[in-house]
Amino acid sequence: MTRPVKREPHITPHPAAGGSTSSSSRLINGGAETSDMDSREATERRLLRSLYRDVKRIITDEREDVERVDSDMFNSIINQVEDLHKSVQKPREQVADAEALLDITNSLVALVKAHGNDGITPSDFVNGLLRDFGRQDGPGTSDESSRNLVAWEDIGLAVSHIFSGCPGCHTMVGPMDTELKQRKAVVGRRRTRPTGSVQPEEVNDSGGKERTDTDKNMATMFSILKNKRSVKLENLVLNRKSFAQTVENLFALSFLVKDGRAEIKVNENGWHLVCKIFINAFILKCLLPPFFLIV
């Protein structure tokens, strides 16, 4: 089947198209006629493209009929396309014509391939499945019944020997690529108090103040010992109302004893007596530096 080559028709200019006024008015009338022709042409072309679309829809929807060897559908479609082709003049319609031919060719190719399968087409196979394994459900939603048309389990059991898959093994341990996760070291977050922190100023001579208190206590205790030659220990250090003061007194006394300025004796009655130590001034002068002299 050969097709003549289509070319665009040659438009000859209007013979009255000249320079006179009468010819210009005729030109305006000619322009109106031309625009009428253009719109008619556009409508015809639109109709032609619509007819081509219908043919393509038939080729798709009636594919099974087209592919059947004994069907007349193929001839009918080809004749339709041939008739439409005679009206094709512009590129857009030529494209639609070529697409229709392509669709028919694809259908033919599928038909030839089906011959390689003893003439069995996918449609034949699907129809056979629906016949053998189709479901006829009872009452149910129409949507569900339209989807549940085939007994897939029955097909699977019938063809299980084709694939013969092995079940494999699994354990409760988990996936094969699970790795032991290392525990992340707990990093303590620095917690900031909601309120502002205030640091008091440091006092440098706090230790000196305590020594001053101890020295005062020592001086007081020593002056008492100077006045009273010997004093009972409990009368000197005990403060029955303040244990802290008692400890301070005992502390001061221990310094006096350590310095050799006082001594603690026990008399025949078992009383603890604290006495001031009299040191010969001359011996003291020899033994100690002058500023250590105790009078």
Amino acid at 270: G
Give residue for tokens 């032991």: 180
The nearer residue to another protein, 165 or 208, going by C-beta atoms, is 165
- For another protein, what does the binding mask look like between residues 119 and 148, x meaning CB under 8 A? xxxxxxxxxxxxxx-----------x-xxx
- Closest separation in Å from C-beta 128 to another protein: 4
Minimum separation from the CB atom of position 74 to another protein (A):
18
Name the pairing type of β-strands 262-266 and 230-232. Answer: unpaired
From residue 66, give the alpha-carbon distance in Å to each of 79, 97, 106, 203.
Answer: 13, 18, 11, 109
Looking at residue 281, the DSSP 8-state letter turns out to be H
Residue 169 interacting with another protein (CB under 8 A): yes
Please report how close the Cβ of residue 131 comes to another protein at its closest, in angstroms: 6
Positions in 198-257 near another protein (CB under 8 A)? none
Q: Can you tell me which of 78, 150, 264, 284 binds another protein, judged by CB under 8 A?
A: 150
Stretch that binds another protein, among 79-87, 113-121, 186-194, 203-211 (CB under 8 A): 113-121
Q: Which is nearer to another protein, 147 or 189 (CB)?
A: 147
Phi/psi for 195 (5° steps) reads -95, 160
First to last CA, the chain: 151
Q: How many residues bind another protein (CB under 8 A)?
A: 51
The SS3 call for residue 252 is helix
Query: What CA–CA distance (Å, rounded) separates 236 from 31?
Result: 142
Which of 4, 13, 138, 167 forms a contact with another protein (CB under 8 A)?
167
Q: Distance between CA 231 and CA 260 in Å, rounded? A: 16
| Least Cβ distance, residue 97 to another protein (angstroms) | 13
What letter would DSSP give residue 172? S
d(CA 91, CA 135): 50
Q: Which residue has the tokens 């900031």?
A: 192
Q: Which of 22, 135, 114, 11 is nearest to 68 (CA)?
A: 114
CB of 120 to another protein, least distance (A): 5
Task: Pick out residues in 73-112 that bind another protein (CB under 8 A).
Answer: 99, 102, 110
* Footprint on residues 6-65 left by another protein (CB under 8 A): 63
Among residues 118, 201, 205, 268, which is the contact residue for another protein, using CB under 8 A?
Answer: 118
Q: Is 164 in the site for another protein (CB under 8 A)?
A: yes
Chain residues in the site for another protein (CB under 8 A): 63, 99, 102, 110, 113-114, 116-132, 144, 146-150, 152-171, 175-176
